[in-house]
Each structure stands twice: as structure tokens, then as C-alpha cells.
Structure 1
């Protein structure tokens, strides 16, 4: 890509209608390399302290691994696989010394300095990729109802309102190895938007609605709008909400560097 661009971004988190917060979200800029960004969402499960311990472990693993990551030499895919495996192991070890059974989802995307993007997820926290408001791709949940959709037994709309929509078939901290949903975007373009979020957010919106919001509002405004609207639609029964939005915007100056330094508009 010859045209320069910059990243604008925002994170948001709210406990919704729950008594306590088990979600965690992070948007990390690489400590040594400009334009390298890691976004992570974790939805913890397993009782009040158990779920929070699990999502905390995801964030701790993410920060430690990203600190050691060398974008010029290391593999982005290997980093994300290490994040899944390390967080999974630490959560399982935490369960040994706790009365709870901590588990967590994970949705993470890594943007490299020249615009390449890799993502990884396990569980039902999602990642969406839009271009100019149109859905390009999203993750497929590791859940019971997603399996029903893939077998053609129910529709996407029916899945959203299915009474067993909260049953996961894979996540971090279980006895079984966690599934890893992988995807790579060869080069991000101006007009692209990425969002990672927990089910407390995506459950209340169609992809078309999400695309419209991300195209029409700044990341900070979109974050606030989606949290407020999800809470309204939940009608007092909403889950924890967490999300991170990164938008790719064209630079006006043609002589600018390929990637603007750092992040603008981080909430």
C-alpha cells in the first residue's frame, strides 16, 4: 500500500446489569515498535472471583508475551498461539488452588507495523472486520448453537435467541485443549474497522448495525453508543460488556510515513 494511514482506537467496558465485572479488555501499543498493536478481550466465567481471575490471567499473559515480542523477527501466529496456551495453562493452575472453576473466552487481534493483521479466538467473544461499513469476516463462536447453525438446523437469527446460546464447546481453563480460530488479513486499508467484543455486546446487534455504527462514528463515540444501546436492549438483564475498536483512516498528506506513530483517540 502506498497511501499512508493512521489508526484511531477506543476501548470500553461496563458491568451491565451484573453485580460484578468478569470481562477484561486491553489495547496495547508495542513498547519498542511503532504501529504494532495488540487488542484483547476476555470474558471470564466461574463465579464472581473465579471469572475475574481467569480474565485477569489472560491479560497478564498478553502483556508479558507482547512485551517480549519482536515484530521484525517473531511470528504473529506463534505469539497468539502462545497467548492461548499460556493463559489456558495458568487458568487451570489457578483452579487447583481455588474453589471456583475459572474459565475465560479470548478474542485477540494483532496489527503489525506494515498493516498485516492476525487474529485468534476461543469461545464466544468475537472479532469483526468491516470495510466502509460492510462486513468482510467475523469469527465463528465455539458454542453449541453455532454448531447447530453450521449443520443448518437453526438460522443465525434463531441462534441469537436460543435458550442454550450460552453453552460453549471450547474456551480457556477446561480439561480439553482450547480451540483456536485463526485468520489473517494481508494488509489493512483505509476504511477498515476491527472490533473485538464479548457476547454482552454482539448479542444485541446485527452485523449491519455494527458496520453502520463503526463507519459513521469515531471509535470513542461508537464504543459509548454500543454500550448504551446494548444496555437499553437488554432491558435489565444484560451481561458484562467489553469491546475494543480500531479504525484505519487515510492520511491527508501523501508524503506521510506508511503508518502513523502510535494510536490516536484511545479511551
Structure 2
């Protein structure tokens, strides 16, 4: 996907691999908004809940985001409210799906919206991540809604120890949890410029890379090429470890062509 605005050109792509699992339960998509020219959305969901249940939950996240973005207009709404609505609506739909089936569907979610006003907005639920890069420099990432990440924040685990902890898969915030509603926090970054980029990915991918490695690959290649490299390296590094599904979306900002500037 390539979309041009006056300030920059938005280049985006996605990638997936089933890993060593029997089913691909991750979902990812890129959308434009018919009533919001220049706006781009990336959404990724990592489903949980056994065979078919996780895939069903993740698909509902994508469907809910798509429908909401199609109806969005900057003249009638704001991005923070849009992202909050998507999370809550997806949570409700997943819970209703659990009632009407014998599945126990749950999902993570991470959603990014780029605007033509040089702003980026994002939210996440669970341990699917968003990374922001400035050129080849790592700038920030989302903090996982997981038990082990909470231990890191409390100083009870050293950074990095959470990846091998026996409770690393326990989430404190997820879609479809009947015990609670999802916590929604929307982050905003203003002043986007050419060479800024974003990576959305499931835990089946980020587990195998440092932040510096991700920044180098995303900055050095087109979204499609970067996706291929990261998936290839994930498979190599996960060899023999029953690797999870891995899924990603990359959104890069490039200088607009001379034709777009005129």
C-alpha cells in the first residue's frame, strides 16, 4: 500500500507465517478511510482460545476496525474516540461469539492511525506490540499488558528476564475476557516526518529481536522486503522451539515525489 499526502508518502506492507502451529490465529490488515483522505490504519490481532476460537476472535477485531474506519470522518469524530470504540466493540462482539459457540475466543489488538496532519495515534490490548522508529533509531514501544511485564515495571524482574519466565504468556488485559472490560489507553505522536516508521507485530515475532535490530531492518528496506527478512530470521532463530504464529505490519513515511509536491 502507498498513499501520498503533501508532507510525506505512506508506504505500508504486512507479513505472516504460521510458525510451527496447526492454525494461523493472527490477523493483520491495512485500511484507508473513504471519508478521511490521507488517513491510513494498520491493525493486528493475535487470537487465543484453542482451534478456530482464536482465529475467530482475531478476525472480529479486524472486521470491527474496518467497519469503524469506513464510517470515520475527521469532521464528525476524533481518532481517540475511534480507537476506543473499536476496542470496546470488538470486546463485546468476541464475548457474544463465545456465548453462541463452544469456543472461548480471546484476542490481543494493536491499532495505528496515521493522519495527514503529521500525527500518529495508537492503542493496544495485550502483548502485541507497536514500535516507533526515527530513521534507524528506536524511539519507543508499547508496554505489554502481561504479568511478567508488570513485574519488570515493579522492579521484581530485570528487563529481558520476562521472555523466559514460566508465566510469560499470562495477560492482564485482553479482548473477550468475561471477568473485566479491556483497558484502553491511546498514545499520540505529533510532528511526523519522512523516515519515521512503525512496526506492529505479534509476540511470535518480537520475541526474537532486539529493538536495534528491528529499527535497522525496517529503516533499511521497503515494507515488503523488511517483512520478508524479519519472518525469515524469525524462523531461523525459532528453529526447534515450536514457534508461534508470527505476524507484522510496517508503516513507513518517505519524502513525497516531486510530482506530489507540485
TM-score range, shorter chain: over 0.9
Counterpart Cα distance in 2 of 1:209 and 1:180: 29
Matched, 1:228 2:239: no
Cα-to-partner distance string for 1:205-259 (whole Å, 9 max, x where unaligned): 01011001111111111001111111111113111111100101112539716xx
Task: Specify the alignment match of 2:7 in structure 1.
Answer: 4
Q: Which runs of 4+ in 1 moved over 6 A?
A: none
Give the alignment of 1:1-267 within 5 angstroms: 4-175=7-178, 176-236=180-240, 237-253=242-258, 256=261
8 Å contact 2:7–2:256 — kept in the other structure?
yes
Counterpart Cα distance in 2 of 1:45 and 1:34: 34
8 Å contact 1:142–1:179 — kept in the other structure?
no
Structure 2: tracts of 5 or more residues without a match: none
Counterpart Cα distance in 2 of 1:4 and 1:217: 21
8 Å contact 2:127–2:202 — kept in the other structure?
yes
SS at match of 2:98: helix
SS at match of 1:121: strand
Query: How far 1:115 sits from its partner (Å)?
Result: 2.1
SS at match of 2:191: coil
Query: How far 1:72 sits from its partner (Å)?
Result: 3.2
* Higher RCO (CA-CA < 8 Å; seq separation 6+): 1
Counterpart Cα distance in 2 of 1:34 and 1:169: 36
Structure 1: tracts of 5 or more residues without a match: 258-267
TM-score normalised by length of structure 2: 0.94
Counterpart Cα distance in 1 of 2:22 and 2:72: 36
Counterpart Cα distance in 1 of 2:238 and 2:185: 28
Counterpart Cα distance in 2 of 1:255 and 1:79: 29
SS at match of 1:156: coil
Query: How far 1:57 sits from its partner (Å)?
Result: 0.7
Counterpart Cα distance in 2 of 1:195 and 1:42: 13
The two structures, once aligned, show a CA RMSD in angstroms of 1.6
Counterpart Cα distance in 1 of 2:183 and 2:208: 25
Task: Specify the alignment match of 1:261 in structure 2.
Answer: none
